[in-house]
Chains A and B, each alone.
Chain A
């Protein structure tokens, strides 16, 4: 379990990997990967119990990236967590690599393929139900997008999770407020998410999805209420960490030019300078 300071440093490293992968591969879902990096960092380096050397351990906590397009962040996290060597990240985007543009089971640490939206919460509910039936203490974490909330299957799963009292299920919405064709509230308004999930029988909390103190406090207190599934609405910034990408829907899957890549690295360097103890803070 890393300290808050350490999580911040890790986030910088992960975002550097993400932007490097997307720049090198000339493909990726830049904005949504960056908005979810801090949530993933808090999960994998603070909240979740797992041993990367035993990825099939039946007692491990499970994570499902229901918004499968944010895959670059997940790959960088899994590599750093030790599921596979970081050097393999450079394969991303190359012909024949197992590092597809959406997660598959061929990547160590991935629990279920994703990419078609609206699937992850049902699969997570099934895993959490298995834990309940087997009296196993593992928890299941599912990360969804806010645009993804328009998928009807999400609400089938939300109903079932409450029906079965799955307090070992933790869903997080990366609420970055933008989707591919514009602001979520204009494309298909999903607000108010907290009230919606509460009315479905969930305990719901809103946090700043880039504040590790808030994220870790929420994860540490799970289950918040016995017998109720947990929903974290994480308010995030699409393109987080890069001034020219932040809150800009055009960066949903735009890839940076050489100039933009250099600028991104400089911005990360500046952010890292705020944490002088960062190892290799300069790119």
Chain B
């Protein structure tokens, strides 16, 4: 089983294993999820730092909090759909309110489990997690950025939620990107519009910028991998320096990245926005790629949404 197949989960588990080999207080907790979280190698290498709790997400978070109160840095690894709902009260109280050194790593986030249906989708996790004071929320977009966020979390001492997808994704970053909470990365410069994206939507956002450039529209592209804290300065600058903003996320259009960006935009420098994501309905059956296409989360549709706003804002 290759550690470097380009998937965020393998990048995560490899980075965590490396950190835990150096630091015996780093623990991993799984809820019958070591396969899906790619934590098998961790358990084999460091059984004394691995805890299996069975199919019991509430217990997993509670046990992780208990371990952390006794000096451990604990990564709970399992499906985002369950950790962002089933155990949400434990995340709120035992992790966020208690400021426990616990990282909830939601794997197979968004619609990674596509055809398995809405029980296994987490299109609400950003909305709920970012409402808890003190809980950091991160969505890296590729293997290298996942490793960078994992390294940060291993030493931060703070509670956090990180969502990653299941399948291999194209590399966005060449080397290891420097990660700082509260800092977005500007991947493309431009001052006609800004496309702000997270996770697997960063790649189609970049491709959309290429398409827009062919039409003479220069798009700035931001990878907003730190959703909380969010890069208020970069977002305000995008609002002041461009004519409109398009946000793209593998999440409900309610309460996610788009909402977080809009909260800043309307209170600093209001301008037209388009929030692209999953509408307020239960998704049909389909792979994640099919669902992205169905809901317009593709380079082409991102570009056409931007072109519409371009026409609107030029008329003004």
Chain A contact residues, CB within 8 Å of chain B: 58, 62, 104-105, 111-116, 118-119, 121-131, 133-134, 140, 152-153, 156-157, 159-160, 163
Contact = CB atoms under 8 A, between A and B. Distances in A.
Interface stretch (B64-72, B155-163, B166-174): B64-72
A122 B71 contact: no
Interface stretch (B90-98, B231-239, B255-263): B90-98
Given A112-B98, A156-B56, A159-B56, A122 B93 contact: no
B45 to A, nearest CB: 16
Given A122-B62, A123-B63, A157-B62, A130 B70 contact: yes
Interface centre among A115, A118, A123, A159 (most CB of B within 10 A): A123
30 contacts: A58-B70, A105-B98, A111-B69, A112-B98, A113-B93, A113-B97, A116-B89, A116-B92, A119-B89, A122-B62, A122-B94, A123-B62, A123-B63, A123-B94, A125-B62, A126-B62, A126-B70, A128-B66, A129-B51, A129-B67, A130-B66, A130-B70, A134-B70, A153-B58, A156-B53, A156-B54, A156-B58, A156-B59, A157-B63, A160-B56
Contact of A123 (B53, B54, B66, B89): B66
Contacts of B64: 126
A118 B90 CA distance: 9
A115 B164 CA distance: 31
Contacts of B72: 130
Nearest to B92: A116
B133 interface: no
B53 A112 contact: no
B99 interface: yes
A42 to B, nearest CB: 23
B60 to A, nearest CB: 8
Contacts of A58: 70-71
Contacts of A128: 66
Contact of A131 (B59, B62, B70, B93): B70
A112 B63 CA distance: 12
B76 to A, nearest CB: 11
Contacts of B53: 156, 160
B81 to A, nearest CB: 18
A130 B101 CA distance: 14
A153 B70 contact: no
B48 interface: yes
Contacts of B62: 119, 121-123, 125-126, 153, 157
Interface string B188-219: 00000000000000000000000000000000
B63 to A, nearest CB: 4
Contacts of A131: 70
B136 to A, nearest CB: 18
B15 interface: no
A216 B51 CA distance: 33
B154 interface: no
Interface string B72-110: 100000000000000001101110011100000000000
B69 A159 contact: no
A114 B66 CA distance: 13
A230 to B, nearest CB: 17
A163 B65 CA distance: 18
A125 B66 contact: yes
B90 A130 contact: no
A113 B89 CA distance: 12
Contact of B59 (A105, A116, A153): A153
Given A159-B54, A160-B56, A160-B59, A130 B71 contact: yes
A160 B63 contact: yes
A130 B56 contact: no
B117 to A, nearest CB: 23
Contact of B65 (A112, A153, A156): A112
Given A112-B94, A113-B97, A160-B54, A129 B63 contact: yes
Contacts of B69: 62, 111-112, 123, 126-127, 130
A123 B65 contact: yes
Shortest Cβ-Cβ A-B pairs, 7 listed? A126-B66, A122-B62, A130-B70, A156-B59, A126-B63, A156-B56, A123-B66
B91 to A, nearest CB: 11
Contacts of A134: 70
Contact of B66 (A129, A153, A159): A129
B23 to A, nearest CB: 14
A124 B69 CA distance: 10
Given A133-B48, A153-B58, A119 B67 contact: no
Given A156-B58, A156-B59, A122 B98 contact: no
A122 B97 contact: no
A206 to B, nearest CB: 26
A102 B189 CA distance: 50
Contacts of B70: 58, 126-127, 130-131, 134
A37 to B, nearest CB: 25
B222 interface: no
Given A119-B62, A122-B65, 13 more contacts: A112-B66, A112-B69, A113-B98, A116-B89, A118-B58, A121-B62, A122-B59, A122-B62, A122-B66, A123-B69, A124-B66, A126-B68, A131-B70
